[in-house]
Amino acid sequence: VQPVESGGGSVQPGASLRLSCIISETDFFSAFAMGWYRQAPGKQRELVATITNTRDTNYADSVKGRFIIDRDNNKKTVSLQMNSLKPEDTAVYYCNAARLVATLIRAASDGGPGMYWGPGTQVTVSL
């Protein structure tokens, strides 16, 4: 199942953006845990937020209190509301799905064998 991300852009520090990801080619979206990742130039992919199939959420310390992950199972989408953006949030943002949150966590370092990655959406935060 290949995700398709959208909603990125170029904004000033302090602004907000809302990213969206759709995974339409599955009948099992509601069963998946979902994650948002980001990758800045020259850096490893980082998992920034997860949401389970029961809507439990978790965030990286760097975004806690500023980002909100949510899901709409009817639309097969997961969103990432990003508030109080900082220059260090600049990256390409990706989403992905897995049966287990542990798999999403491992995918940040091992690339998620068997997982399909979408094109991502660029977020640039600068003056």
Q: What percent of the chain has pLDDT over 90?
A: 87
Query: Model confidence at 91, in pLDDT bands (50, 70, 90)?
Result: very high
Query: Model confidence at 28, in pLDDT bands (50, 70, 90)?
Result: confident
In terms of Cα–Cα distance, which of 3, 77, 1, 91 is closest to 47? 91
Which pLDDT does position 61 carry in this prediction? Answer: 98
Pure H helices in the chain = 101-110
Which pLDDT does position 85 carry in this prediction? Answer: 98
Eight-class DSSP state of 13 = T
In terms of Cα–Cα distance, which of 36, 31, 43 is closest to 7? 36
Task: Quickly list DSSP for 17-44.
Answer: EEEEEE--S-S-GGGSEEEEEEE-TTS-
Per-residue model confidence as pLDDT tens digits over 37-72: 999 999 999 999 999 999 999 999 999 999 999 999
Q: What is the mean pLDDT of the chain?
A: 95
Q: Is the pLDDT of residue 92 over 90?
A: yes
**How do the residues of the chain divide into helix, strand and coil, expressed in percent and rounded to 5?**
15, 40, 45
